[in-house]
Chains A and B, each alone.
Chain A
C-alpha cells in the first residue's frame, strides 16, 4: 500500500487549510438517553478519519446526524469554514455528504446503471423515457473513475456484497460526494475484496475525497486511518494520530463506561451439574465451532460486538436456525429439533425485542403469564378460569410484577415489568435454562437491578442462565463466567476473576 503511505504524507500539508467539514458541539438527546453529548469532529479533504467506539458509543447517531436522518438538538456544521444547516437528507446531499450504510440502498432487480442514477435518469426523446445510451455511458464513466470494471447492465441481485458496496460508492461519487461516510465497510468482505476496497479508498483520497470510516478492526484502524476519534457514551473522548497510540491505548479509551455498580449478585450456589453443553456448533447463519457450557446455578455471559454472532448462537441452540454441525446437549440429553422441542425440554429464550417476540401486548398480564404453560396447568385440555388466575397471581407475587391487576394489558406496564412477565411466562412453563438476549435493553436503571436480582434468584433456585449483553459492565458484575465472540467464533472465555471491560473489548476486537 505505497499509495496509502504517500497520501498519508500529503495530509499534514493539507491540514493547514480549514477542514472540509466540521461539526462543533453536536448534541442529540432521546428520551432518557444522551446519544451525542457535545461532539466535535472534523475532516480534511484526502484523509481517512477513523471513528472508533463500543456498541452504543454514539457512532450511529453521529452518522445519522451527518446524513440528515436525525436533527441535532444543538451544535453547528461548517463546510469549508462556512456555517451550514443539515436538517434533511437533501441538505446533506447538497453538501456532498454520502453515507454508505451496512444495509445497502440498492434496488435488487434494477441494473447497476439504473441504481447509480436512480431519480436522476437522463431523459430520452419521448417524455418520461430514459436515454439508455447516456445512462450506460454515464455509469461506465463513474465506474471507471473508481476503477471498478464491470458491465453496468448487470442487475444488483447478481452481485456479491463487495460489488454492491462498489456500486454504492459509485452512486455516491456520481452525486459529487466529497465526504464519504462508511459504516464498517469490510464487515462482510473477504480478504481479497477488502484489498480492492482499500485500493479504492486510496484512489478516492488522492482525488481529495474526505472519508469518515467506522471500524471495529484494529488492523485497519492503524493501516488506513490518518486520524482516529474515539467516542464513548456519546462523548468524544479524544482525537489521536495512529502513530502516537497503541491498540491497548485505544481500548482503554473505549471502555470505562460509568455505570451504577450496585447490581446484586449473591453467588448463592456453587455451580452444579451441566445444564447445557454445546460442542462444535455451526449454523447456516455464519457461526462456527462454538463450544460452551452452562451449569446449574450459573449466569454465563455471551459478549462481543453487535454482529459478532451472539444472537445467532442463541438461535442455533434454541433451534430457530438449523445447525449444520455439532451437538447440543441439554441436561445430558441430545437436542436436535426446533424451538418447540427446546420449550418442551425447559429451555427458555427471552428475546431482545420483547414487544415483537415475547409478549402479546394487548392481552392481559395473566394471559401472557400462563400462555406457555397451558398444557402443564391444564393437562386435560379444559380451561379453568380460577386455576389460571391462581397461577398468575402466584407469579405476580413471586416476581414482584407491579401491575394493578392480572387483567391489565401488558402493553401498559413499564419495560422492566414487561420483562418480568416474559420471565414469568417461561417460569410457569417449567423452564430450567433461561437465555437472555439483551435483558436490560430499554429498561431504566432501577428496574435493571431488579431484573438482575430476579435472575439471581432463578439461578439460586437451581436454574441456569446464559445472557447476551452489550453492556460489558453488566456482564462483569453479574456473570460467573463469560464467552467473548468475534466473527462468528468464540474468541475466548473469561473466568470470574478475569472479567473486566478491557479484557472483553480486547478479545472482541478484530486483530487480524
Chain B
C-alpha cells in the first residue's frame, strides 16, 4: 500500500497564496488609476526602493519563525546608515564604513538575542529597549544633524549597475539567495523551523536553542548593517531619522507574505512577494499624490487584509 498525505487543499485556486492575489490586484488597480504606474522606469524604481526593506524582511522572517520579533531594526538601520556616512566621510573608504556598520549591527543583534534567549525577556520588550538605545545613539553620533559630503563612491552603490541590473537589486537578490540556501539547505535553517515548531524536539536532539536564537538575531543585525550602506547611498548622506518605522514595514511584509507567528511556519518567497507588495502599494499611493500618512495606514490595512484572506481560506 502507498500512504498518501492528507490532501488539505483540493481546490487548486486555494493553493495560490494570498500575497500573490494581493500583489496582482494592487498592480491591476494602480495601472488602471495612474498611467505612470505600469512603465519600465517606475517598476524598476519600485524594485530598487524595495531592496532595503527586503534586507530587513529576510532576517525578520527567520526571527518571526522562532516566535520572536525585532522592533529595533529601523532604529539600528538609522544608526548603521549614520556610521557608514561618518566613517566614509572620515576615512574615504566605503568598505571600512560597511564593516563598521555591520559590526555595530551584529552587536545590537547579539544583544537582542542574548536578552531574549539568555535573560528571557520577551522579544517585544527586549527589542523595544534596544530600539530606544539605537535611537539615542543615532542622535549622539550625528548630533541631530545630517551627515553630508559623501565621497562619490557612496552614491555609486545605489545608482550603479552590474550587467545592466541596478546594484541594489543585485545585492538584494544575492541576499535572498543566501537566505534561501541558509533556511532550506543547512542545519541552521532546519533548526530554525524547529525553534518555532517544536522546541522540545530540538532539546531531545541535543541542540542548544539559546545559541541558535542569538545567531538568528545577530544575523539580523548583520543584514541591518548591509542595509545601512544602501540607505546612506540612497540618500547620499546619513540622516538621524533615515530608518524610522521601517521595522513596521518589514514585519508587515513578513506577515503579508504568509509567515505565521506560531509553530515556525515560514515562507521566504512569500516574504519577497510581501516586500514587493508593500513597495507597490507605497509607490502607487505616491503616484496618486496621496500623503505619506495615508501610506502608513494603507500598509496596516494591507496586513489585515492579507491575513483576513488567508484566514478565510484556511477556514473554508
- For B147-175 the 0/1 string (1 means CB < 8 A from A) is 00000000000000000000000000000
In the complex the two chains form, is B186's CB within 8 Å of A128's CB?
A: yes
Q: Which of A128, A149, A154 has the most CB of B within 10 A?
A: A128
The 6 nearest A-B residue pairs measured at CB? A119-B205, A107-B197, A158-B5, A105-B201, A150-B3, A107-B194
Min C-beta distance of A340 to chain B, whole Å: 24
Alpha-carbon separation in the docked complex, A105 to B207 (Å): 14
* Given known A110-B193, A118-B194, contact A149–B201 (CB-CB < 8 A): no
Residues from chain B with Cβ under 8 Å of A120 in the complex: 205
Residues of chain B from 181 to 234 with CB closer than 8 A to chain A in the complex: 181, 185-188, 190, 193-194, 197-198, 200-207
Alpha-carbon separation in the docked complex, A115 to B206 (Å): 14
Q: Is A79 at the interface (CB under 8 A from chain B)?
A: no
In the complex the two chains form, is B265's CB within 8 Å of A163's CB?
A: no
Q: Which of B2, B205, B206, B264 has the most CB of A within 10 A?
A: B205
In the complex the two chains form, is B190's CB within 8 Å of A118's CB?
A: yes
Q: Is B40 at the interface (CB under 8 A from chain A)?
A: no
- Given A107-B194, A114-B193, A129-B187; 12 other pairs, CB 8 A cutoff: A89-B203, A105-B198, A108-B263, A109-B193, A109-B265, A109-B266, A119-B206, A129-B185, A130-B186, A130-B190, A148-B3, A163-B5
Q: Is the interface of A mostly helix, strand, loop or mixed?
A: loop
Alpha-carbon separation in the docked complex, A108 to B194 (Å): 8
Residues of chain A from 284 to 337 with CB closer than 8 A to chain B in the complex: none
Q: Is B6 at the interface (CB under 8 A from chain A)?
A: yes
A108's partner among B5, B185, B198 (CB-CB below 8 A) is B198
In the complex the two chains form, is B197's CB within 8 Å of A108's CB?
A: yes
Residues from chain A with Cβ under 8 Å of B203 in the complex: 89
Residues of chain A from 104 to 129 with CB closer than 8 A to chain B in the complex: 105-110, 114-115, 118-121, 124, 128-129
- For B44-60 the 0/1 string (1 means CB < 8 A from A) is 00000000000000000
Q: Is A160 at the interface (CB under 8 A from chain B)?
A: yes
Q: Is A90 at the interface (CB under 8 A from chain B)?
A: yes
Q: Which residue on B lies nearest to A166, using beta carbons? A: B3
Residues from chain B with Cβ under 8 Å of A132 in the complex: 185
Alpha-carbon separation in the docked complex, A90 to B188 (Å): 21
In the complex the two chains form, is B190's CB within 8 Å of A121's CB?
A: yes
What are 30 A-B interface contacts by the 8 Å CB criterion?
A: A89-B204, A105-B198, A105-B204, A106-B201, A107-B197, A107-B198, A107-B201, A107-B264, A108-B265, A109-B197, A109-B265, A110-B190, A110-B194, A118-B190, A118-B201, A118-B202, A118-B205, A119-B202, A128-B186, A128-B188, A129-B187, A130-B187, A148-B3, A149-B1, A149-B2, A150-B2, A151-B5, A157-B265, A159-B5, A160-B6
Min C-beta distance of B274 to chain A, whole Å: 18
Alpha-carbon separation in the docked complex, A119 to B205 (Å): 5
Q: Is B8 at the interface (CB under 8 A from chain A)?
A: yes
- For B1-27 the 0/1 string (1 means CB < 8 A from A) is 111011010000000000000000000
* Given known A105-B198, A107-B198, A163-B5, contact A128–B265 (CB-CB < 8 A): no
* Given known A108-B265, A119-B207, A130-B190, contact A154–B5 (CB-CB < 8 A): yes
B186's partner among A105, A115, A129, A163 (CB-CB below 8 A) is A129
Alpha-carbon separation in the docked complex, A376 to B8 (Å): 49
Min C-beta distance of B226 to chain A, whole Å: 20
Alpha-carbon separation in the docked complex, A114 to B183 (Å): 13
Residues of chain B from 246 to 277 with CB closer than 8 A to chain A in the complex: 263-266
Residues from chain B with Cβ under 8 Å of A109 in the complex: 193, 197, 263-266
Residues from chain B with Cβ under 8 Å of A108 in the complex: 197-198, 263-265
